[in-house]
Amino acid sequence: MRMRPTLSWTPAAEHLLPATTDLEPVVGALGAGGVLVLSGAGISTESGIPDYRGEHGSLSRHTPMTYQDFTADAGARRRYWARSHLGWRTFGRARPNAGHRAVTAFGRHGLLSGVITQNVDGLHQAAGSEGVVELHGSLARVVCLSCGAFSPRRELARRLEEVNRGFEPVAAGINPDGDADLTDEQVVDFQVVPCAVCGGVLKPDVVFFGENVPPRRVEHCRELVRESAALLVLGSSLTVMSGLRFVRQAAQAGKPVIIVNRDPTRGDRHALARVALPLGPALTTVAGRLGIPLGDGTGADDH
């Protein structure tokens, strides 16, 4: 029997950390330097990209595509690419917010040892952060499951436009993975294109639910945790193990873990503090206390 991936969790009372609005733990950790940032969907909500599990999280109305369904079912791939093609038009226009710009500013002032993001939106890089580890990949790339060739998402978007002229359905919403909410009737005539190199099946270069993060990427992240002085989690519920394991690693090594997330997280029991404040304003305040100016918000590149 195929098991569905973990999408939610129910916190036990003994594992909850009382929330605070005191930003001093964040200021203190960043002031000391060597901080590794682990970001999740919550840092991008102020850019118009919804999160999965917050108050208005997409999981309340949307079940993400799993790797098993995508690879096994041509109909599932048609639904995914139709919805993702429409979502890309909106998703690709998102721009970095104050939270992304603050992370970039912290890095440029030498306070960070690295940035790991669970997001696939490229907004940290668009804000100017360098050396970002994309734990779950990037929607800006496409990979062929047969020959392994990579190609830009914008090229695939052009090809899909050519074979699906007039595809203009109205979506009920956009999800954190760039997937638009469409009905089966709205996608029934959508045409999928094959790999331009070998004719194989194309997949976004992202880690789907039910798919494993590449081992070398995981080990690279573990090394970043080992080299860091503290771990700062920004906008992640830490529900899935892909991010939670780094929190556990840091805590087991005696490194302080600080979480900025408005809702309880699965990593609260390992944290020194959980600050329950909106990320953009909170990180802007932290930057101000550290005397660090933020950028103008224009971004560093076109993601």
**Integer Cα distance of 174 and 184 in angstroms:** 16
Give the pLDDT band of residue 255 (cuts 50, 70, 90).
Answer: very high
Bigger pLDDT: 188 vs 180: 188
Q: How confident is the model at residue 266 (pLDDT cuts 50, 70, 90)?
A: very high
pLDDT of 296 reads 52
The pLDDT value given to residue 133: 98
Mean pLDDT of the 225-247 span: 96
Which pLDDT score is estimated for 39? 98
- Identify the pLDDT of residue 124: 97
CA 223 to chain centre: 20
Question: Residue 2 — very low, low, confident or very high, per pLDDT cuts 50/70/90?
Answer: very low
Residues contributing to the annotated binding site: 40-60, 118-121, 144, 147, 195, 198, 235-237, 279
- Kindly tell me if the per-residue pLDDT of 212 is higher than 80: yes
| pTM of the model as a whole | 0.88
Catalytic: which of 62, 100, 124, 136?
136
Task: Using DSSP bridges, classify how beta strands 202-206 and 112-117 pair: parallel, antiparallel or unpaired.
Answer: unpaired
Q: What is the pLDDT of residue 56?
A: 47
Phi, psi of 265 (to 5 degrees): -125, 165
pLDDT at 263: 92
Find, among 3, 42, 29, the residue nearest to 263 by Cα.
42
> What's the chain's average pLDDT?
88
| pLDDT value of position 15 | 60
The structural architecture, per CATH, of the domain 61-93+137-206 is 2-Layer Sandwich (3.30)
pLDDT > 90: percent of the chain: 72
Select from 202, 207, 122 the least CA-distant residue to 160.
202
Per the annotation, the verdict on 136 as an active-site residue is yes
pLDDT at 113: 98
Q: Element (H or E) spanning 155, and its range?
A: helix 153-163
pLDDT at 143: 98
Range list for CATH 3.40.50.1220 in the chain: 19-49+95-136+212-298
Percentage, residues of the chain above pLDDT 70: 85
Start-end ranges of CATH 3.30.1600 in the chain? 61-93+137-206
Taking the C-alpha atoms of residue 113 and residue 74, their distance in angstroms, rounded to an integer, is: 43
Q: Indicate whether 301 pLDDT > 50.
A: no
Q: How distant, in Å, are the alpha carbons of 158, 178, 220, 261 from that of 89? A: 11, 9, 32, 28
In this prediction, residue 12 carries a pLDDT of 61
- Binding site for NAD(+): residue ranges? 40-60, 118-121, 235-237, 279
CATH of 19-49+95-136+212-298, one of 3.40.50.2300, 3.40.50.1220, 3.40.50.200, 3.30.465.10: 3.40.50.1220
Q: What is the pLDDT of residue 184?
A: 80
Please enumerate, by residue number, every residue annotated as part of a binding site for Zn(2+): 144, 147, 195, 198
E-strand stretches of the chain: 35-39, 112-117, 133-134, 137-144, 150-152, 202-206, 230-234, 257-260, 273-275
Which of the residue ranges 49-58, 200-209, 236-245, 283-292 would you say has the lowest mean pLDDT?
A: 49-58
| Greater pLDDT, 200 or 167 | 200
Query: Of the candidates 37, 208, 212, 204, which has an alpha carbon nearest to the alpha carbon of residue 133?
Result: 37
State which amino acid sits at residue 276: A
